[in-house]
């Protein structure tokens, strides 16, 4: 898969439409697994990210990890020494697993976690932290042998992950803090988010809307606050979920 041959944004929004038609968490899991495989990922997990010493297993929503890896991870209680999970608990931005740095000499169990993942074909990974409306951290983490880390691919994974988490949580009756019973945004906030969702920058959106870039940023900031979103991408996803905006065509 190359940047020249793939419309990453369209692939992400097409998958969101598929998620909308899902009626069970198993369907979401199958759709997500199929989509991620096209980007070079063969394993994934959607889960809450509690603070240790709490264990992570009760917070799993969808577990697409290799069974053998899951078993040893649980038996050894590796969660408290997982550098990827540790980084997730203090980040709001998506990151490659390699960015969750650690010293193997001073933290040998962290090294064991990453070696175990490598042994199960999860050599490189990508993690999307998610801040729910109640302030609790969740994430979608995924890995494979040689995943596509092209910047536009990672942006697509960010969008897909946020929506997959929200859809799975709704089907499993977990509150993600997004109101769908009444409109929250002003007309201009919806317009700004719609253009951001279509891939426009603040500068481009400002030119389209006939306002300043600062005004666009204010629209997006206010919309994000109303939608309990930690990032712009999260705001776009929550706005789609709340039916405030439509999926860009």
In 10 A of CB 193, how many CB atoms? 27
Name the one residue in this structure whose structure tokens are 């769908």: 180
Among the listed residues 56, 61, 58, 6, the one whose alpha carbon sits nearest the alpha carbon of residue 28: 61
Angstrom distance (rounded) from CA 197 to CA 207: 16
The length of the chain, given as a count of residues:
249
Give how far Cα 108 sits from Cα of 69, 103, 137, Å. Answer: 18, 8, 26
pLDDT of 4 reads: 44
If one compares 231 and 107, the residue with the highest pLDDT of the two is: 107
pLDDT interval class at 179 (50, 70, 90): low
In this predicted structure, the answer to whether residue 180 has a pLDDT above a threshold of 90 is: no
Rounded to 5 degrees, φ, ψ at 227 are -95, 5
Angstrom distance (rounded) from CA 242 to CA 104: 44
User: CB pairs under 8 A, 24+ apart, for 54-57?
Assistant: 55/79, 56/85
How large is the average pLDDT for residues 116-128?
Answer: 97
Rounded to 5 degrees, φ, ψ at 163 are -70, -40
pLDDT of 178 reads: 62
Angstrom distance (rounded) from CA 104 to CA 100: 12
CATH of domain 8-171: 3.30.450.80
Instruction: Give start and end residues of each alpha helix (H) in 97-150.
Output: 108-119
- CATH match for 187-241 among 3.40.50.620, 2.60.40.420, 1.10.10.10, 2.60.40.3680: 1.10.10.10
Pairing of strands 137-144, 124-131: antiparallel
Instruction: Locate 138 and state its tokens.
Output: 């969740």
The per-residue pLDDT for range 6-38, each reduced to its tens digit, is 678 888 888 888 898 999 999 999 999 999 999
Domain ranges of the chain: 8-171, 187-241
- Give me the helix-helix angle, 151-171 and 232-241, nearest 10°: 40
Judge contact between 246 and 194, C-beta under 8 A.
Answer: yes
Enter the DSSP assignment of 209.
H
Name the one residue in this structure whose structure tokens are 């997730």: 88
The per-residue pLDDT for range 73-95, each reduced to its tens digit, is 999 999 999 999 999 999 999 99
What pTM does this model have? 0.85
């Amino acid at each position: 898969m190359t940047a020249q041959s793939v419309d990453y944004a369209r692939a992400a929004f097409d998958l969101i439409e598929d998620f909308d038609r899902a009626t069970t968490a198993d369907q979401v899991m199958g759709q997500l697994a199929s989509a991620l495989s096209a980007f070079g990922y063969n394993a994934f997990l959607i889960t809450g990210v509690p603070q240790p010493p709490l264990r992570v297993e009760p917070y799993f929503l969808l577990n697409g990890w290799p069974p053998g890896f899951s078993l040893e991870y649980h038996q050894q209680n590796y969660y408290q020494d997982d550098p990827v999970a540790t980084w997730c608990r203090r980040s709001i931005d998506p990151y490659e697993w390699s960015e969750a740095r650690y010293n193997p000499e001073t933290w040998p169990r962290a090294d064991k976690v990453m070696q175990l993942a490598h042994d199960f074909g999860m050599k490189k990974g990508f993690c999307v932290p998610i801040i729910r409306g109640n302030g609790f951290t969740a994430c979608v983490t995924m890995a494979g042998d040689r995943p596509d880390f092209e910047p536009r691919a990672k942006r697509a994974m960010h969008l897909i992950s946020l929506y997959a988490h929200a859809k799975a949580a709704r089907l499993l009756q977990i509150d993600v803090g997004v109101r769908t019973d009444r409109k929250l945004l002003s007309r201009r906030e919806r317009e700004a988010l719609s253009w951001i969702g279509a891939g426009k920058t603040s500068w481009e959106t400002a030119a389209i809307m006939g306002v300043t870039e600062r005004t666009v940023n204010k629209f997006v900031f206010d919309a994000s606050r109303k939608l309990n979103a930690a990032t712009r991408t999260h705001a776009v996803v929550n706005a789609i979920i709340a039916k405030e905006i439509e999926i860009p065509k």
